[in-house]
Amino acid sequence: RYVKKPSKQAQKLQNIRLAFSHLQSNGVSLLGIDPNDIEQGDLDQVLALLWAIICHYHLRQGDNDGERPLLEWLRSAVQDPEIPDLASSWNNGVNLSALVDYCQPGLIPDHASLD
């Protein structure tokens, strides 16, 4: 049962587990995401949960996986058609700097010289 104003950890976990149950019954994959970590505010787990929800409800189009539309947008935004994936392409910070400058022009004006 949903607790409208949870004040105790057990009540918060109960609400999170209820939400997880609903998401899973709708086909959202929550593999490796633990309700306890969400309640504790584990950033990696919270981001993994958000990514799972985004992939399921927004990015999935037919047989496409959620990465393809996002990669296409990122390639366009950072003006780099060679971005191969969402992992190693972001390790050195160059593409991230370009994305930040795309979202907030002028914030990192010399991002192009970071190569």
Q: Are residues 105 and 78 part of one domain?
A: yes
For residue 2, tell me if it sits in a domain. Answer: no
Identify the band that residue 63 occupies on the pLDDT scale cut at 50, 70 and 90. low
pLDDT value of residue 66: 63
Pick from 66, 4, 12, 7: which is nearest to 38 by CA? 12
Token pair, residue 55, equals 């992939």
Question: What is residue 25's three-state secondary structure?
Answer: helix
Element (DSSP H or E) covering residue 68? helix 67-77
Report phi then psi at 35, rounded to 5: -55, -35
Q: In which domain, by residue range, is 39 found?
A: 9-59
| pLDDT tens for each residue of 93-103 | 788 888 888 88
Q: Are residues 49 and 73 part of one domain?
A: no
Q: Are residues 55 and 31 part of one domain?
A: yes
pLDDT value of residue 86: 77
Asked whether residue 81 carries a pLDDT value surpassing 60, the answer given is yes
Asked whether residue 23 carries a pLDDT value surpassing 90, the answer given is yes
Q: What is the mean pLDDT of residues 6-32?
A: 92
